Amino acid sequence: MNGSRPWWESAVIYQIYPRSFQDSDDDGIGDLNGITERLPYLVDLGVDAIWISPIFRSPMKDFGYDIADYIDIDPIFGTISDFDRLVAAAHARGIKVILDFVPNHSSDQHAWFVESRGSRNNPKRDWYIWRDPAPGGGPPNNWLSEFGGSAWEFDPTTAQYYYHAFLNSQPDLNWRNPQVVEAMREVLRFWLGKGVDGFRADVIWHLIKDAQFRDNPLNPDYHAGRPPNEALVPLYTTDLPEVHDVIATLRRTIDEFPNRLLIGEIYLPVERLVAYYGRDLGGVHLPFNFALLNVRWDARCIQSLIAEYEGSLPEGGWPNWVLGNHDRPRIAGRVGARQATVAAMLLLTLRGTPTIYYGDELGMPQVDISRERVRDPFERNVPGIGVGRDGCRTPMQWEAGENAGFTAAEPWLPLANDWRSNNVAELRGDARSILNLYRRLLRLRKETPALSVGAYRPYAVDEDLLAYYRELNDERLLIVLNLTDRPQALKLEEGAHAKILVSTRAERDGERVPGIVTIVGDEGLVIDLASR
């Protein structure tokens, strides 16, 4: 806790895609012992918590999001003992550990599903979603898989279809069944009992499906080149009102353990996203806010987005921001390497809990994966329209040595072309690097309550320049972000005694500024207005 505040309000979360962070046993795939080995780096960077994408036993059809055993570690990543050592080592360094929780679906190799598909009268039959064929044959309705094709898979053993929102090897659990709810609560309790500090719940808005199994309506805005599942509006398969009761039950489970965090993955417009804070804030603590993943990189658009989000939050709801994750193209690939530094300052100076995606602190690029190296099942199922996620999951770039210091074997995905120059070892020694910018901003957040938990207030905006205050008590900071490559000027408030605390150009740190501040192209500034 920070005074009376929960720890996550002032924390910075760092997402680790474990297959790609550090390989300790030279099989080309990252693992738990590799994460433990790199904890000193995370301490030096200045993050407060690590969120680890799925590490549970899995056939790896969707690289861990198809779980065959919710309370065991996959041998690719190590053992339960390795996990216990990681948690102990992280806690000893003041770092919290957040796990991925995948409640919507299991692997078809999970013992629950093996039993469920055994016969129509199996005790676990209703743990999954089974339906008879349509009257004329074929799938029960028109529901589509997120990964392409029908969301219904015919099982000849029992002559029924089961529902899968993703791969046909990822059958959806039936969250209308109280036995499923209790079994998954026990999964949470198992890991919480091991000292886990929280969970990020995968696709949590998918958990409840329409009890009448009505067809989803056609999407009038669908056009060629978009993922095929978008041809329908998921009216009856996502974001149903009953999902909030399920989430409230999960939250009560989390609350059985002190100071634990529940994050929800929810891709919805802001006005629907904020409902996931729950009645009386009894839902997820942080419904992930992905708005920056898709916003047009324009100052007016970003300010409008911030205003809409801040204005939609329920009373007492704490905001959060995300610039990148394992499903979306890298920020440097979206806005360019120079603007990636401005994006970093935006992420780490907005009000709320930021999540950094591993490697973004290096400006790692989005990697173009050749067809023969594609591993992502989404891209394999729906090729040619740019849905592949491999390009943002490539190995962490640690040094200029063999395979960037990630592994001594062939990496499971190819490295980015720039790894020999763009890596931790090289950037750590360059005071002007994006890595050192992240370090300076993270240090400033820890030293400056106005930045970590203070209020947000807009100052000025046009198409090119975004400026806003962060304030708490006597601390007053002005953040100014130039979203162009052209110099800009901004008049400061009358009588301000201003000093630059952090610039994306390190040589300006500590500079005192007059009544008008000049911001060079692709620059961001954190300015102390209370300076004397």
Q: List residues with catalytic annotation.
A: 202, 256
Instruction: Give 158's Cβ-side CA count (13 Å radius).
Output: 17
Cβ neighbours around 394 below 10 Å, total: 25
Q: Is the dihedral of CA 382, 386, 387, 392 positive or negative?
A: positive
- The b-or-e profile of 78-98 (16+ CB within 10 A means b, else e) is beeebbeebbebbeeeebbbb
Query: In the chain, how long is the greatest CA-to-CA distance?
Result: 80
For the chain, how big is the Rg over CA atoms in Å?
A: 24
Q: Going by C-beta distance under 8 Å and a sequence separation of 6 or more, which residues neighbour residue 433?
A: 426, 427
Query: Which residue from 378, 374, 399, 395 is spatially nearest to 387, judged by alpha carbons?
Result: 378
Give the alpha-carbon dihedral of 335, 337, 338, 340, to 10 degrees: 60
The pair of three-digit structure tokens given for residue 508, joined into one six-digit string: 């300006």
**Cross-sheet strand order for the sheet of 524-528:** 455-461, 465-472, 475-482, 524-528, 498-503, 512-513
Measure the CA–CA gap between 391 and 374, rounded to whole angstroms.
Answer: 9
First to last CA, the chain: 32
In DSSP terms, 467 is beta-bridged to: 460, 480
Pairing of the two strands 261-264 and 198-201: parallel
Give yes or no for a contact between 435 and 396, defined as CB atoms under 8 angstroms apart: no
Query: Which residue from 217, 252, 247 is spatially nearest to 232, judged by alpha carbons?
Result: 217
Measure the CA–CA gap between 54 and 31, rounded to whole angstroms.
Answer: 11
Give yes or no for a contact between 478 and 523, defined as CB atoms under 8 angstroms apart: no
**Cross-sheet strand order for the sheet of 198-201:** 286-287, 261-264, 198-201, 96-101, 49-52, 13-16, 353-357, 320-322
Query: Which residue from 35, 234, 229, 263 is spatially nearest to 146, judged by alpha carbons?
Result: 229
Query: Which residue from 275, 294, 286, 371 is spatially nearest to 334, judged by alpha carbons?
Result: 294
DSSP H or E run through 302: helix 299-312
The pair of three-digit structure tokens given for residue 490, joined into one six-digit string: 């901004």
